[in-house]
Every structure is written in C-alpha cells, then in structure tokens.
Amino acid sequence: MVVAGAGIIGCAIAYELSRRGVSCLLLDSRRAGMAATNAAAGILAPLAEFRRPDALVHLGLASLRLYPEWVERLREQAPEVDVEFARNGVLRVAFDGEEMAELRAGLRYQAELGMELIELDGATVREVEPRLSPRIVGGVLCPEEGQVSNQMFTIALSRAARKRGVRIIESCPALGFRARDGRVVAVRTPQGEFACDRLVLAAGPWTRPLARKLGVDVPTRPMRGQMLAMGGMVTPIHAVVWGARGYLVPRANGLVFAGATVEDVGFRLRTTKAGLAQVRRAACELVPQLRHASEHFSWVGLRPGSPDGLPIMGPLPGWENVTVATGHFRNGILLAPITGQLIAQAILDGRPGEALAPFDPGRFTLSNTS
Ligand SMILES: Cc1cc2nc3c(=O)[nH]c(=O)nc-3n(C[C@H](O)[C@H](O)[C@H](O)COP(=O)(O)OP(=O)(O)OC[C@H]3O[C@@H](n4cnc5c(N)ncnc54)[C@H](O)[C@@H]3O)c2cc1C
C-alpha cells in the first residue's frame, strides 16, 4: 500500500490504516506536512461559511466530533507533542444588517445540526470579546467549534503512524506508475520503484498532474491563501473571530493569525503586497487595535480547491486499486479525521461507504483508460 502525499490528509489516512493493522508507505516530494497543511490557520469550523446544512457541513460536523477522541489517542501515542486543541468557540460577526441577516439565517438549523448557536447583539459581542470593533452590530457564537495547531497535529499523526509501522519517505516524489490489467502495481520515484497492491493519491493540488499520468482528470486546483502573524500586544481575543472579509485566530504562543486571501493564481507560491494589505485591512476592521500590532511573519499556501467546493474522495475511475483523497479546499484540517476514517474503511471494505457518495471522483470525469 502506497500513499502519495504526506500532508494532513495523507498522514490521517496512513494513521487510520495503521490502526486497522495495515502498514503503508507514505511518500512526499518535499517534507511531510509542509505544504498547505503547514500554512493553515487551524480553525475547526464546519459552519464557517455556512448557508444551509449540505453534505460538506455534515462531513465537517462529523469530523469536528472525532477531534476529541483523536487528540486523546494522539496524546497517548505521541505524548511529547501538544496539538493545542481548543474548543474556544467561533464567533461570526456582522458589520451591517445584511451581514447579520445572513448569519441569522443559519440559526434555524440548530436542531438539525445538533449544534448550539447563540445570537448576540453588538453590545454582547463586545462583552464576550472586548477588543472587537464598536462598528460590529451583532454576531453568532458557536461554542462547539474551535482550533488546533495544524502543524503539531500533523507531526503527532505522522509520529503515531510511524510507531505503528508506517514508513515515511520524504523528498521522494511519485513520478509515475507501472500498471497491469487496470491496476497500479508500482510507483516510480527518483529512489526507484515501490511495488504496491493499493495506491492512494493525496497530493493536494498536485493530485491532478499525478492522476493525469493514469489518464484521469481529477479537477483539483490550487487556491492561494496569504496570512499574517500579528503580535506584540496582549492577546486581544479568546475565540476565533470570523467576519465577511477575514478572520482572526488566537494562537497558544500569544500571536494572532490573520487570514486569508483566496486567489485563483495557479501554483504561484508567494505573498504579495496587495494580498497582505487585504489581510491586514480585514484584521484591523475586526480589532482596530491591531493597527498598532507588530507583524511577525507572513506566509502563503495552496489549498486544494474543487469545481463544486466539495472534497474529491473515493475510487479513481477506471482503476481497480487507486483511491483519491483531495479537494478539501478551506477545510482540510477540520476534515482530516473523517477523511482518514472513511478512506481507510473504504480501502479495507473494497468499496466506498455511503458517506463518501457525495464526494465521488467520478462525478467530474470518465476515465480515458479501460
Ligand atoms: C492560508 C490557508 C489557511 C487555511 N486555514 C485552514 C483552517 O483554518 N482550517 C482548515 O480546516 N483548513 C484550512 N486550510 C486548508 C488546509 O490547509 C488544506 O485543505 C489541507 O492542508 C490540505 O491537505 P492535503 O494533505 O490535502 O494537502 P497538502 O498539505 O498540500 O499536502 C499535499 C502533499 O503532497 C505532496 N506531494 C505533491 N506532489 C507529490 C508527488 N508527486 N509525490 C508525493 N508527494 C507529493 C506535497 O509535497 C504535500 O506535502 C487553509 C489553507 C491555507 C492555504
């Protein structure tokens, strides 16, 4: 079994396989967890851009609810790593009546979601988070949502997987495949060929060029995100704060992460003046005092997007033993546990479970191979 791509998704799948007694080889072209996984803000918010309870929201909720048990298990299996998991709530805020109406629209689904959502007026928003702008007219607090250190969580996952027999080889890109009778039998790399009875493609936005080598279009595309770490003042917020133009995440080290742009600019992995200015503006709109904060560092990552905004997970059309897991776009950190669980189970069962149906890679493409 080979998993190509050791971001949080590949690591979660390898970890779940190892828990089910299947050890695998995890390949990464660079260092494990250093692409989008390293760039993320770590927000665990299935209702982040919530309109109505669709397949993605339900998947996100299921994954959020797996987090406590995953964190507990990782605490035993990689006790030296603190993954900084916190259910500190996500506070969505509105600057005018229109934004508030959008937030309010979600409230009626509380019972269906089994999720507490608390509507707050502007004054109460500032009681909860005194540093927020006086221009905020109201908000909705979801206490069950929260955050994790995406970096530490992925390190813990990869260490726990290693302890269970997963072999991780870094700086070792999958370059191509050897196939026989509709099955991939080996992965070609600069370090030679690795035989495999099953293959998982979990290479983020690079899954598309990889799948093309098997004659299949998996239409994930890179969506650039730029972020800023601000600090030098007392942590101004306690919950994750989400506005229409940006968000703020209070991290355990006292810094506030401000994000993020969403740009369709191909694989161009660099920050821009305009992008960072946009992030800074949105941050200061939420907490005006951040105007005086120092900017510690900025960074950029490429989210794996998809044409319909849903992850692309399940069997690769036309191939008996290849599975895809990508397209997690803005929610890959949130969705890692449920993805690991569903994909590992699908591999063991030899077919995808019902829960994967909305995310079937076959919804976009027919295989060119037979
Ligand atoms: C700025 C920003 C903020 C974000 N904030 C959040 C957030 O708050 N919450 C949330 O849930 N999500 C967030 N995300 C999204 C999240 O980071 C991604 O959805 C997630 O990291 C995707 O994980 P992945 O493993 O699929 O991809 P990646 O992390 O990109 O990993 C793919 C891996 O595949 C490797 N690879 C590529 N080609 C090959 C090859 N040929 N062979 C072998 N390996 C290969 C790469 O080196 C890489 O390590 C954010 C993303 C960005 C950019």
Contact between 256 and 250 under an 8 Å Cβ cutoff? The reply is yes
Nearest CA to ligand 1 atom 2: 40
Nearest CA to ligand 1 atom 20: 332
Residue 158 near ligand 1, beta carbon < 6 Å: no
> To test ligand 1's pocket by mutation, which of 303, 306, 310, 323 has the most ligand atoms within 8 angstroms of CB?
303
Nearest CA to ligand 1 atom 1: 225
Q: Is the pLDDT of residue 366 over 80?
A: no
Region 310-339: mean pLDDT is 97
Region 36-48: mean pLDDT is 96
What pLDDT, on the 0 to 100 scale, is given for residue 212? 97
**H or E segment to which residue 14 belongs:** helix 8-19
Region 21-46: mean pLDDT is 97
Through-space distance between the first and last CA atoms of the chain, rounded to whole angstroms? 22
Residue 243 near ligand 1, beta carbon < 6 Å: no
Q: How far is the CA of 224 from the centre of ligand 1 (A)?
A: 11
Q: How far apart are CA 100 and CA 181, in angstroms?
A: 56
Contact between 164 and 19 under an 8 Å Cβ cutoff? The reply is yes
Query: Of ligand 1's atoms, which has the minimum distance to the CA of residue 329?
Result: 19
Q: How far apart are CA 368 and CA 370, in angstroms?
A: 7
Q: Which fold has domain 2-77+150-220+308-363?
A: FAD/NAD(P)-binding domain (3.50.50)
What pLDDT, on the 0 to 100 scale, is given for residue 278? 98
Q: Is the pLDDT of residue 370 over 60?
A: no
Q: How far is the CA of 191 from the centre of ligand 1 (A)?
A: 24
Q: How far apart are CA 30 and CA 13, in angstroms?
A: 18
**Residue pLDDT, tens place only, 326-359:** 999 999 999 999 999 999 999 999 999 999 999 9
Q: How far is the CA of 119 from the centre of ligand 1 (A)?
A: 33
Beta-strand relationship, 2-4 and 25-27 = parallel
**Residue pLDDT, tens place only, 196-218:** 999 999 999 999 999 999 999 99
What pLDDT, on the 0 to 100 scale, is given for residue 111? 85
Q: How far is the CA of 298 from the centre of ligand 1 (A)?
A: 17
Q: How far is the CA of 134 from the centre of ligand 1 (A)?
A: 36
Residues of the chain with pLDDT > 70, as a percent, come to 98
Confidence tier at 254 by pLDDT (50, 70, 90) = confident
Q: Is the pLDDT of residue 78 over 90?
A: yes
Cα atoms in the Cβ-side hemisphere of radius 13 Å centred on 184: 31
Superfamily of domain 90-146+221-305: D-Amino Acid Oxidase, subunit A, domain 2 (3.30.9.10)
Residue 311, Cβ density class (10 Å: 0-12 exposed, 13-18 middle, ≥19 buried): buried
Region 52-59: mean pLDDT is 93
Residues of the chain with pLDDT > 90, as a percent, come to 91
What pLDDT, on the 0 to 100 scale, is given for residue 235? 61
**Residue pLDDT, tens place only, 257-293:** 999 999 999 999 999 999 999 999 999 999 999 999 9
Tokens read off for 71: 């964190």
Residue 37 near ligand 1, beta carbon < 6 Å: yes
> To test ligand 1's pocket by mutation, which of 145, 148, 331 has the most ligand atoms within 8 angstroms of CB?
331
**Residue pLDDT, tens place only, 100-142:** 999 999 888 888 899 999 999 999 999 999 999 999 999 999 9
Contact between 347 and 17 under an 8 Å Cβ cutoff? The reply is yes
Query: Of ligand 1's atoms, which has the minimum distance to the CA of residue 8?
Result: 25
Angle, alpha carbons 75-77-83 (nearest 5°):
35
Residue 325 near ligand 1, beta carbon < 6 Å: no
Q: How far apart are CA 323 and CA 369, in angstroms?
A: 15
Residue 188, Cβ density class (10 Å: 0-12 exposed, 13-18 middle, ≥19 buried): middle
Query: Of ligand 1's atoms, which has the minimum distance to the CA of residue 299?
Result: 1
What pLDDT, on the 0 to 100 scale, is given for residue 234? 66
Q: How far is the CA of 49 from the centre of ligand 1 (A)?
A: 19
Confidence tier at 163 by pLDDT (50, 70, 90) = very high
Confidence tier at 51 by pLDDT (50, 70, 90) = confident
> To test ligand 1's pocket by mutation, which of 15, 28, 298 has the most ligand atoms within 8 angstroms of CB?
28
Region 145-171: mean pLDDT is 97
Region 236-249: mean pLDDT is 95
What does the domain layout of the chain look like in residue ranges? 2-77+150-220+308-363, 90-146+221-305
What pLDDT, on the 0 to 100 scale, is given for residue 233? 66
Phi, psi of 11 (to 5 degrees): -65, -40
**How does DSSP classify residue 161?**
H
Residue 4 near ligand 1, beta carbon < 6 Å: yes
Which of 277, 290, 192, 155 minimizes the C-alpha distance to 232?
A: 290
What pLDDT, on the 0 to 100 scale, is given for residue 118? 96
Cα atoms in the Cβ-side hemisphere of radius 13 Å centred on 250: 20
What pLDDT, on the 0 to 100 scale, is given for residue 263? 98
